[in-house]
Amino acid sequence: MLKGIKVTAIVIISVLMLIWLTCTLLLNHARDLKLDQYKLTNPWLLEHYQRTDVPVEHGWRLAEQLFMEIDSQLYVNAEPKLLHNRPLLGGILLEDLIVLATDDNLILFDTEGGYIGTLGAAELIPAEIQNIGLHHGLPVLQTRSGMWQGNSILDDWQLISLQGVSWSESIPIPESTKNELRQQLEAHNIKLTTLLEGICNGRFFGEQGRWLIDALLLLIMVLALRGMFGLTDKS
C-alpha cells in the first residue's frame, strides 16, 4: 500500500517537473518560436483567466446583419468594419440600404454588410440625433430640436410631428456571436506565453501556486545536491 502511494507520488512529481522544465525551455525561446502569435480561446482557459466577458451586450440586426460597437470599433457579424468616434444609437433598413445613426452622422451599409459611406452636416443631416426610425417606409430622426422626416435618398429633411414611428430597438447579442468576438478581441485572447509564464511562476494554479513551484524547485535542488554528494562519496 505504502509502496504504491510512494510510486504514485514519484510519478506525479516527475510529471510536474517535466511540465515545468518544458514550459521554461519554451519561454527561453519564445521570441525565436514566435509564441506570442499563438492565441488560446479555450472556454475553460478564458474562464480561468476571467476573460469571458465581452464588453458589449446589445446590437442591431438589420437585413440579417448584426451591428454592434466595441471601443469605437463598429462590428458587423463579429467582424471589425469601421472605426468611428461616436456611439451608435440605432439603425433602420431603408429598401436595400442599411442606415445606422450616431448623434451627428448617418453611416450607410449595403444589405451584405459592406460599408458605403457616412453622411453628416455637410449633407444637411440634422444635428444632435437621439434616435432613428421609420414611418411608412421613410426615415425619421428624433433630435434635440424635434422630429425630422427624410426622403428615401436621405438628401431632404423636414421638421415634422408624427405619431406611430417605428423606432429602432437593440437586441441582446447571441452567445455564438460573443464567442466569435472573443476570438477577434485581443483583450479576450490568452497568449501562449501568458499560459507558460503562469505555469512557470505558479500563478496558473491560484494563490498558493507559487508555493507549489517553490516546493518543486527545492526538491530539484535537494536531488541535485544528493547527486553531487553521491558522486563525491564514490570518488
Domains of the chain, CATH where assigned? 13-41+189-234 (no CATH), 58-186 (2.130.10.10)
- The pLDDT of residue 62 is 95
pTM over 0.75: no
Query: How is residue 90 written as a grid cell?
Result: 440605432
Q: Is residue 159 within 8 Å of residue 147, measured between CB atoms?
A: yes
Sheet with 166-167: strands ordered across: 157-159, 146-150, 138-143, 129-135, 166-167
Query: How is residue 76 written as a grid cell?
Result: 458587423
- The pLDDT of residue 187 is 60
Question: CA–CA distance from 84 to each of 71, 72, 103, 142, 178 (Å)?
Answer: 9, 5, 12, 21, 21
User: What are the φ/ψ torsions at residue 91 (nearest 5 degrees)?
Assistant: -160, 160
- The pLDDT of residue 143 is 94
**Closest residue by Cα to residue 81 from 99, 67, 93, 97:** 67
Residue 212, CB-side half-sphere exposure with 13 Å CA sphere: 17
- The pLDDT of residue 92 is 97
- The pLDDT of residue 20 is 78
Residue listed under C-alpha cell 496558473: 204
- The pLDDT of residue 230 is 63
Exposed, middle or buried: residue 69 (CB in 10 Å: 0-12, 13-18, 19+)? buried
Residue ranges in the chain whose pLDDT is less than 70: 1-4, 6, 9, 50-52, 185-189, 229-235
Alpha-carbon gap, residue 24 to 197, rounded angstroms: 8
